[in-house]
Amino acid sequence: MKVMKTSALRFHSPFSIAILAICILVPFQSASGQKKKNKKIAEVPVVQNIVISENLMSLYRIVIPASATPQELKASKILQDYLLQISGAALPVITADKSVSKYEILLGQNERLDQLGITINFNELQADGFVIKTDSLRLIIAGGNKNGTIYGVYTFLEKYLGCRMYSPDVKIIPKQEKITLSIINDKEIPLIKFRDAHYKVAWNSEYSAWHKLDHDAQGARPAWGSWVHTFNKLVPPEIYFKDHPEYYALRNGKRTPTQLCLTNPEVLKIVIQSLRKEIAGNPDAKYWSVSQNDNRQYCMCDNCQAINKQEGSPSGSILTFVNQVADQFPDHMISTLAYEYSRKAPATIRPRKNINIMLCSIEMRRDQPFATATDSMSLSFVRDVKDWGKIASDIIVWDYVIQFNNLISPFPNLMVLQPNLRFFVENGVTAMFEQGNREVGGEFAELRTYLISKLLWDPYANADSVINDFLNGYYGAAAKPIRQYIDLMLEASVNSKQPLRIFGSPSDASESYLTPALMEKYKELYNEAELSVAHDPAILERVRIARLPLSFAIMEQAKKNFTGDNGIFIKNGDKWIVRPEIRSMIDPFTDLCIRQGVTKMREWHTTPDAYRADMYRLFYQGRNEHLAFNKKIILVSPDSTIVPAGSWKMLNDGIRGTNDRENNWFEFQGKDLDVIIDLGKVQKIQHIECGSYQFAAWLGILPKKVEFFVSEGGKKFDLVGSVDNTLPIDQYDFLQKDFISDFKPRNCRFVRVVAHTIGNTPESHPGAGQAALMAIDEIVVE
C-alpha cells in the first residue's frame, strides 16, 4: 500500500494544515522491513533542524548521481529553480563523485547514499514512488527508476515549502527568508500505476509532472502505441470490405463493417500482421490496443455466437481472439475493451498475462458511489468490476467525470470521485483514465483536474481538504460562496434521489439540483463571490468563468421552457418578445467563453459562436403562431405505435428545435415522415417550411428530400415545392437545416409534408447498416 510519514515539521505555508490532513503516519522502514540499524545513522546524537537557506544565502548544494539519468537531472534543475524563487539562494548542482559535505540535498539513486550507509529499497519504490527524508543535516529525495525523483521534488515543494500549481497559469510560490526543516521521513508509492486526468488543463508538461500524470503536453500517452477502438484501423474496411465482407460482422443476415468477425482465421492473420507493422514503427510503446469499434453492432455469425453463448457474454469471442493476438507479442501488453456489450466478464476464458482489460463505466449514474448504489445497473457494474478483478492481472478503468452532452453544464459529482476510485483500487484496478473535457473549459475544469490528479496519486487523501485548498488558492476571497454553491448543489442532487448521468442536461435537473428556487440561490452566491473579489481583475475573471455553467443552465432551461418567466419568450401585450434576462446574457456568456478559449459546448459539436448563432436564430424565429399552429395533425408515417404518444404534436406547437437534440425534435428511425395538417378552413397560403438537424455520429441524418403538398378537400394533393438536401453525410458536427418552399398564393385547407429518409446508413458510416434517425420540427405555414 501507499505509505507516508510526516514528522514534526516547521511550515511556512498557510496550506500546511490541509496537507497534513492528507497524510497517513507510518514509520519509514528499510528494505528489510525493519527500522534502520546502520551504525553511522545510530550515532547521530541529536535531532537538529536543517536550515536550507537564510537571508539569500545557503551552505547547501544539490548532489546528483555521477551518471544521472535525464529524470534526475531534470529533478535537480526543478529543485534549484524553485529554491531560488522561494529564498533567493542559488544552490549549486554537483555530482556525487565530488567531495562530501554535511550540507547536501541528495537526489535520485545516488551513490552517496551507499557511502553514508543510508539504505533505500528502490525496488519497492517501483517506477514512480519516492522517499523524502532527512538524515543528520542532509535532505534526501530519492525515487523510482522512472519519474520518482521528479515527483519527490514536486511533493517536497508542495508539502514542505507551501508551493502550489493550481493550473498551468496559476502557481503559488511563497517567499521565505529562511527555509527551516525538522525531521522528515516520508515514503509514497502510488496504488494506481497509470494516472490520466483527461482535461485540457493537464496538457501541460510541468502540470503533468507536478501532479504525477502519465501523459505529455499534448495529452498523448507515450507508453501506449494505440489507445482504443482499433478494429477498423487494423482491418480497414476501405481496403478489405468490398472483396471480403466475411471479415466483418454479420447483422440481420448481412455483413456490415461495424465490427470484425472474430472467428474468421484470416481476420486474425491480418490483425497480427497490421499490429506487427505498428509495433515496428514505435518499438518503445508497451501497450497496444486490439479493441472493438465504438458501436454495438458486433458479429452474430454462428461461430461467434457459439462462443458468446458458452461464455455468457460477447467478451467471450473478443477475449478468445485477443488471447491469440497476445500470444504473438509476449513482450507487449495487448489492450482490449470491456465496454457496453462486452463489459461482462466471460464465464471460463481467462485473459493472458500480457492482456490489459480496459473496463468502461459509461452507463453509470454519477450521483452515488458505484459500490453503494442499489439500482440494477450499478449492481451489475460492481459485479463486472469484481469479476474482471478476479481473472485479469492488468486492468485500466475508463471512467467518465463530466456531462458530455453539455460540457459547461453544472454536474454535481465531485464527492463520488473518491469513493469510486477507492472501489476500483480495492478490486484490482491498477490504472485509471478519468475522461473529462478534451476541449478547453468546462465546469470547474481547473478544480476537477486538480482534485482528480490528487486522488489518482492517493485515493485515500482528504478530498474535502484538497477542494478547500484549491478554492482558497484559486478564488481567494470568493472561495466561501463558491464552496457554498458546490455544497448546496450537491445536497440538492443527493436529496432528490434523481440519477445524475453523463448524457443528461440542465433541463433534466429542473426538478432536482437546478430548480427555479435553487437557481435564484446560486445567482445570489455568485453575486456575492464576484463582489468579494471585485478589486482583483484576475480572480474576478476566474469567478466569472466559474459562473458560466449557471448561465448556461439558465439559457438551456429557457430553451426547453420556451415561454413564460423561465423561458425565452414572454408576452408583451399581444406580442411575444425575448425575455430581457436571456437577451442580455447570451453575448457576455459567449464572449467570456471565447476569451477563456472554450472550443466546444458539447462533446462533438457547437462552438461558442455556433451557440450564440443558435440563440439568435431562436430570437429571430420567435414564438410564431402561424396558420398551422396547434392545428390537427394526421400522422401517416411513421406509425403512431412506434413513437411516444402525441409526440408528433411538437411539429406545430410554435416551439423550435435547437442545437440540442433533446429540445423539441420529433425523432424516429428508418421511416419517412408523412403528415397532414388540417388548417380548419380554406385559406390562402404561400409559404411552407420545416426544420431538421444532422448529427451523423449519432445516426441523425438529414432527409434526402422534403416535399410540400396542398389540398382544399384533403383527397387530392398538389405538389407546391420540393427541396433536396445537398449536405454530405460525413459532416459530423451538429447542424440544422430549414427546408423552405415559397410559391404563388394557393387556397387550401390541408397541408401535407413528406420528408424522405436515406434509409440505412451507408457502409462508409460508423453505424453502417443501421436505420438513420430523422428529426423534424416546426412545420410553419404562412
Confidence of residue 656 (pLDDT cuts 50, 70, 90): confident
pLDDT at residue 473 in the model: 98
Per-residue pLDDT reduced to its tens digit, 310-321: 999 999 999 999
Q: What pLDDT sits at residue 10?
A: 30
Q: What cell was used for 495?
A: 436529496
Could you give the CA distance from residue 10 to residue 49 in angstroms, rounded to a whole number? 9
Closest C-alpha among 334, 456, 452, 336 to residue 388: 336
Q: In this structure, how many other beta carbons lie within 10 angstroms of the beta carbon of residue 713?
A: 10
Q: Which of 203-207, 347-351, 417-421, 658-662 has the lowest mean pLDDT?
A: 658-662
Whether the Cβ atoms of residue 247 and residue 267 lie closer than 8 Å to each other? yes
- H/E run at residue 185: strand 185-188
Helices (H) and strands (E) in the chain, counts: 21, 27
What cell numbers appear for 608 in the block?
461558442
**Average of pLDDT values for 455-479?**
98
What is the distance between the alpha carbons of residues 685 and 323, in angstroms, rounded to a whole number?
67
pLDDT tens digits, one per residue of 115-156: 999 999 999 999 999 999 999 999 999 999 999 999 999 999
Give the ranges where 497-579 is alpha helix by DSSP (H).
Answer: 516-532, 537-561
Q: What is the pLDDT of residue 756?
A: 96
Cell 415522415 found at:
673
| Set of cell numbers at residue 478 | 470568493
Mean pLDDT of 692-703: 81
Distance CA 17, CA 157 (A): 15
Phi and psi angles of residue 681, each rounded to the nearest 5 degrees, phi first: -160, 160
d(CA 436, CA 434): 6
Which residues, including other chains, have CB under 8 Å from residue 113's CB and lie 6 or more apart? 106, 119, 120, 140, 142
Q: Of 440, 359, 367, whose CA–CA distance to 401 is shortest?
A: 367
- How far apart CA 567 and CA 55 sit, in angstroms, is 63
Strands (E), 695-764: 705-711, 718-724, 735-756
Report if pTM > 0.85. Answer: yes
| Residue 210: pLDDT over 60 | yes
Say yes or no to pLDDT of 2 above 80.
no
Among residues 663, 638, 641, 640, the alpha carbon closest in space to that of 653 is found at 663
Average pLDDT over residues 47-52: 83
Please enumerate in sequence order all residues whose Cβ is within 8 A of that of 168, keeping only pairs 6 or more positions apart, or say none.
201, 204, 206, 207
Residue range 374-417, pLDDT digits in tens:
999 999 999 999 999 999 999 999 999 999 989 999 999 999 99
- State mean pLDDT over 59-80: 97
Selected residue with higher pLDDT from 225 and 1: 225
Average pLDDT over residues 53-81: 97
CA distances from 310 to 307, 314, 380, 449 (A): 5, 10, 19, 42
What number of residues does the chain have? 782
What lies within 8 Å, CB to CB, of 359 at 6+ separation is 338, 339, 343, 384, 385, 388, 395, 396, 397, 398, 429
Measuring CA to CA, which residue among 120, 163, 121 is closest to residue 140?
Answer: 120
Q: What is residue 732's predicted lDDT score, i.e. its pLDDT?
A: 65
30: which residues sit within 8 A by CB, 6+ positions away? 36, 119, 120, 121
Q: Which three three-digit cell numbers place residue 383? A: 459485479
* Residue 269 backbone dihedrals phi, psi, to 5 degrees: -60, -45
**Cβ contacts of residue 103 below 8 Å, gap of 6+?**
59, 60, 61, 137, 138
Least confident segment among 74-78, 244-248, 402-406:
402-406
Q: Where are the beta strands (DSSP E) in 599-717?
A: 632-637, 666-669, 673-694, 705-711
pLDDT at position 694, please?
Answer: 83
H or E element that contains 326: helix 315-327
Query: Residue 485 has what pLDDT?
Result: 98
Tell me the average pLDDT across 351-367: 97
Report percent pLDDT > 70 for the chain. Answer: 93
Tell me the Ramachandran region of residue 579: left when phi exceeds 0, alpha when psi lies from -120 to 50, beta otherwise. beta
Contacts of 311 (CB under 8 A, 6+ apart): 317, 319, 346, 347, 348, 349
Partners of 130 in the beta sheet?
143, 188
Around Cβ 498, how many Cβ atoms within 10 Å? 17
Distance CA 416, CA 412 (A): 9
The answer on pLDDT for 30 being more than 70 is no
Whether the predicted pLDDT of 7 surpasses 90: no
- Close Cβ partners of 432 (under 8 Å, ≥ 6 residues apart): 192, 194, 195, 196, 396, 397, 399, 421, 424, 456
pLDDT tens for 536-576 read 999 999 999 999 999 999 999 999 999 999 999 999 988 89
Of 308, 325, 306, 324, nearest to 316 (Cα)? 308
Return the amino acid letter for 563: T
Residue 19 has pLDDT above 70, yes or no: no
Q: Report, as an integer, the average pLDDT of 11-34.
A: 32
Catalogue the long-range contacts made by 588-591 (C-beta closer than 8 Å, 24 or more residues apart). 589/548, 589/551, 589/552, 589/555
676: Cβ–Cβ under 8 A, 6 or more apart, which residues? Answer: 633, 634, 636, 714, 750, 751, 752
Determine the 3-state secondary structure of 579 from DSSP: coil
- Paired strand residues for 432: 195, 397
Reference 208, options 569, 533, 457; nearest CA is 457
Partner residues linked to 55 by β-bridges: none
